[in-house]
Homo-oligomer: A and B are copies of this chain.
């Protein structure tokens, strides 16, 4: 990146305001595809489309591949079909796999026709895997030699075919099964007649096509290799996962976690059309509404009590929110542990015990503090006792729910990062209100 993003965004806004495609080109001249994609996403639609139209046609596909789906779809819709025919002329299977979800069917068909026979085969192979399996995302640029090859064969190959991010050669046996990997750097120092297999690296991980994308990508990141072989059930080499692709997949996964906590998609566009954005967010608001009305219904059970002791209504949010915060702390810790594979049935009991103790300690401490404040505020010792007990109960239940809920959701194959917090706060709201108002009914009436 030649200039900081904010400056570039400002320049592009003014370039497009002045209706000056040449200026857009100058602004973007030294930027790589990812930076251009990031910039286009940051532009309001009325600037994004003219900036896109100013891009040289031969860069458009590469930029599109790097964008998030929602902002990308706006540009796909703005591109006329005759331009698509040119853009798709030398598309590869990998790009089509990346774009597929955003393309209308007629363009997917057009793109598929544009692939050569080999690329069509790669495309079909990849679509046999789910998009949460690593086989869907592999590339095929690996350097391959038979297991019997010598150093001189490796050197000959390297003189013709220099891959990006390729630091190893893969050796295959007669049935196309992955047998060994050799670091290219080793070829510099080795005698030409030496069998390559003598140079094999012994710590190369081998991924299965059906491996989970997050776990597989993390493995590539920490392997220390630029790319890792991916094989099928019979150990036949399918392709490779390189570290750039792995990093993109990991980053996307984290972004999904962050966005999911607010019930949003990682592809959400900063500048999506209002109707679309409102619709995207409505589901989460609707789910929340149901849970909020449920909490209200529980409060409604105590209408009589509230009428007589209005201080209970005043203090309700304190009880609910302390439980919500305590629970979400436990939940966040457990969700991370599940994502990293660190939370399992072997340590579940120990985790539960520890979180209950933490909840117990924080429950007692905060219950006492809040009890004293409430007692003084409303000059009512019994009210202080009631809120004290309610806070303690709610924080301990929150700890229980914070451990138990994500493990349960995970077992049910529901993403705990997405639905965990909304269910948890429903639990802590209801437990909090019922404990507080219930105890109030017993002790204060």
Contact = CB atoms under 8 A, between A and B. Distances in A.
Interface of A: 1, 4-6, 9-10, 13, 32, 34, 38, 41-44, 155, 158-160, 162-167, 183-189, 203, 205, 219, 221-222, 224, 226, 243-244, 247-248, 250-251, 254-255, 257-259, 261-264, 268, 270-271, 274-275, 277-278, 281-282, 284-285, 288-289, 291-293, 295-296, 299-300, 303, 306-307, 310-311, 313-318, 320-322, 325-326, 328-329, 331-333, 336-337, 340-347, 350-351, 354, 357-358, 361-362, 365-366, 369-370, 373, 429, 433
A129 to B, nearest CB: 19
A91 to B, nearest CB: 20
A1 B219 contact: yes
Given A5-B341, A251-B254, A292-B322, A331 B155 contact: no
A322 B44 CA distance: 27
B262 A358 contact: no
Contact of A281 (B34, B159, B270, B329): B329
Nearest to A226: B226
Complex A-B, nearest 6 residue pairs according to Cβ-Cβ distance, in ascending order:
A254-B254, A313-B313, A42-B342, A5-B341, A6-B344, A262-B332
Contacts of A271: 347, 350-351, 354
Contact of A342 (B32, B38, B322): B38
12 contacts: A1-B205, A13-B347, A222-B247, A254-B254, A255-B336, A259-B336, A262-B325, A278-B358, A284-B329, A306-B314, A307-B307, A310-B313
Nearest to A284: B325
A46 to B, nearest CB: 8
A321 B13 contact: no
Contacts of A264: 329, 332-333
Given A332-B261, A346-B13, A38 B293 contact: no
B188 A44 contact: no
B332 A258 contact: yes
Contacts of A160: 189
A78 to B, nearest CB: 18
A51 to B, nearest CB: 12
